[in-house]
Structure 1
């Protein structure tokens, strides 16, 4: 029987990374400072967002484990044989491929880089119980340190290169919004309108980023009762005169998420709906004015809460008022430390990127029923913020037809 390798190097083609090598060197230097501060000898990162942030490689798990192993000198992505040479082309640093000839080959290749009997940094909010047990079995760590909170803090502070990519994503989201607005008409289905926005964005991303990988760009376009939740999937419901509509465009560029979200009405808006819509727009503008260095997420939340409470609308609030942007997605990644919620005390700093997105959901049967949401992306600057979303909001612009 021919001996089959447990792992090997399959490198072919030129490197094609979302950012320059210097960007990854700075990120890894930050990770190694975290490791030194926590006396961690080797970091084994397993989440899609951290593997992508520190290496550029955005993996497709499909039930298989992946990792980035970082030591004081090494930076190695660990990928499955099904991916061929793509991980090596998309990874800063080295890449090793594990085979499926034997169980646990993933951990054998991790061990070849990480060694045994060392203090290991890992992501407690991502690694499963089963994989944690496998780590202990194969690496015999002398200590396990959760580095997820510190890596999140690093990701929350965006570099100039990241902000440039996010700015481009916001512009693409605006273009998708225009395509959606043009497709809205009585009788059109949510899915038809959604596809118009998605196709426009994917073509624009390919134009702006010809060396990128294209995946995961999507649209949620909701109408009528379907607007009651921010993440309700698209359906085949046909649009009707007087419908409340929710436009949501989400371009994805090399793992970086951006978004545009707007309330619209088809043809006309009734008086009760207009009153709620205008209140939500006013809360949106108040929130934008509060996003500046030195403000805490909890303080911003409290002021918007007071605004809604004064108008007897706070009970209709659906979720927190905003969140961070960067390497995140609807199915991976989240910078929970930078959300506009009552229990988040993070102080806003220049370089952070955050949304303002108040939403009110009025139940069916009540005047103005439906979900109202506006969403802009803002860079925190030295003296305030810069709004990088251009698509207009409010009744003056978004009563369509």
Structure 2
């Protein structure tokens, strides 16, 4: 075969469409919302490059491995752009059309996009994701009449969860609880962090496979930390051996079709000393107050101020590690962020019915002080008409989470 016979891109619709995380009607509704945004901003072709927006609008969650992926949406089309290495899988697992680009010459990705977008369009893009290199290529291949950053508008759309999304998030929270109970069973003096983490991960993956037989399974994980390793929320699992009296941090993260949920709990091995217990109980008080504050009409900043006041009254505010919670939806530890719904001083978003948010206060007491370690509780709450519904059911506190041998 000569070079001239090799296509820059083609449609490789291998096999039939499979069951997606949501119905066609759900994706149509999301695209209708997107097209309304496009109409308001004058965008004639939107190009998405992030895992979270591509998954949100068409159901396909890509694995980049150094290759670019995309989703092009116009007033009539919804087309994923995928690398040849994935063959027909992006077609089968996406809503709408799919074009496969080849790697026989550089920038075939943009050739494929140009075949849908054309020249001189008003192009929407994600300013918080598209690299400078790709932005330059976009200008070169598409010659857009104008570029419009759609990152903020699409993030705002994703903040409001549909009933179908809330059902999936509920299922994720239940899977996180399954992992929590498996971890509790595995905790004992002499076990390694990695052994305990694997028990929780395996239990969640088996549960998800039973509950979602048509899903794809990837990326469920556990961070289980002990002793000094509890000082940060995202510290990796190690081979440290658990000892009697250790503070523990249980963190389970099931992933279902791109949707992440979480359970996080403070625990102790066999016994808890008085200084540690006092810090733990103070953080629980902050957690319970924060959950009471989550209701429609209250801003993220106001919730944050309320929890801050409790910590300040107890002279603990200086030990706070980060904001008190965040949105849930199409996100994980390596893609996605709905930063407009985080419980921080600088976020003025007002809570509304249909939003989903965590409450997860954490304080870290430095090594060398009595009660040293990181204390964190984490529940997921759905904002309702007049308050919230907590969909996390694994218990928190010393009565349940001082784990005897």
Alignment deviations for residues 121-159 of structure 1 (CA, whole Å, 9 cap, x no partner): 000000000000000000000100001100000000000
Which residues in structure 2 correspond to 1:100-249 (within 5 Å)? 100-249=103-252
Indicate which of 63, 66, 73 corresponds to 1:63: 66
Alignment deviations for residues 65-84 of structure 1 (CA, whole Å, 9 cap, x no partner): 00000000000000000001
Q: In 1, Cα distance between the equivalents of 2:117 and 2:275?
A: 62
Q: Which residue of 1 aligns with 2:9?
A: 7
Q: Provide the aligned C-alpha RMSD in A.
A: 0.5
How many corresponding residue pairs?
Answer: 401
Q: In 2, Cα distance between the equivalents of 1:113 and 1:43?
A: 11
Q: Which residue of 1 aligns with 2:294?
A: 291
Which residues in structure 2 correspond to 1:252-291 (within 5 Å)? 252-291=255-294
Q: In 2, Cα distance between the equivalents of 1:201 and 1:45?
A: 31
Q: In 1, Cα distance between the equivalents of 2:229 and 2:270?
A: 18
Q: Which residue of 1 aligns with 2:373?
A: 370
1:346 aligned counterpart, secondary structure: coil
Answer yes or no: is 1:97 the counterpart of 2:108. Answer: no
How many Å apart are 1:13 and its aligned residue?
A: 2.3
Q: Give me the TM-score of the superposition, normalised by structure 1.
A: 1.00
Q: Which residue of 2 aligns with 1:39?
A: 42
Answer yes or no: is 1:28 the counterpart of 2:37. Answer: no
Q: Which residue of 2 aligns with 1:301?
A: 304
Alignment deviations for residues 288-343 of structure 1 (CA, whole Å, 9 cap, x no partner): 00000000000000010010000000000000000000000100000000000000
In the alignment, structure 2 segments of 5+ residues that lack a partner are none
2:81 aligned counterpart, secondary structure: strand
Q: Which residue of 1 aligns with 2:383?
A: 380
Answer yes or no: is 1:77 the counterpart of 2:80. Answer: yes
How many Å apart are 1:14 and its aligned residue?
A: 2.5
Q: In 1, Cα distance between the equivalents of 2:176 and 2:234?
A: 17
Q: In 1, Cα distance between the equivalents of 2:122 and 2:191?
A: 58
Q: In 2, Cα distance between the equivalents of 1:177 and 1:12?
A: 40
Q: In 2, Cα distance between the equivalents of 1:115 and 1:207?
A: 45
How many Å apart are 1:15 and its aligned residue?
A: 1.7
Q: In 2, Cα distance between the equivalents of 1:106 and 1:14?
A: 24
2:222 aligned counterpart, secondary structure: strand
How many Å apart are 1:396 and its aligned residue?
A: 1.1
2:334 aligned counterpart, secondary structure: coil
1:322 aligned counterpart, secondary structure: coil
1:327 aligned counterpart, secondary structure: coil
Q: In 1, Cα distance between the equivalents of 2:179 and 2:185?
A: 10
2:264 aligned counterpart, secondary structure: strand
1:379 aligned counterpart, secondary structure: strand
Q: In 2, Cα distance between the equivalents of 1:140 and 1:13?
A: 35
Alignment deviations for residues 103-127 of structure 1 (CA, whole Å, 9 cap, x no partner): 0000000000011101100000000
Q: In 1, Cα distance between the equivalents of 2:25 and 2:91?
A: 18
Q: Which residue of 1 aligns with 2:342?
A: 339
Q: Which residue of 2 aligns with 1:327?
A: 330
Q: Which residue of 1 aligns with 2:53?
A: 50
How many Å apart are 1:367 and its aligned residue?
A: 1.2
Which aligned segments of 4 or more residues in structure 1 are displaced greater than 6 angstroms?
A: none
1:131 aligned counterpart, secondary structure: helix
Q: In 2, Cα distance between the equivalents of 1:28 and 1:343?
A: 30
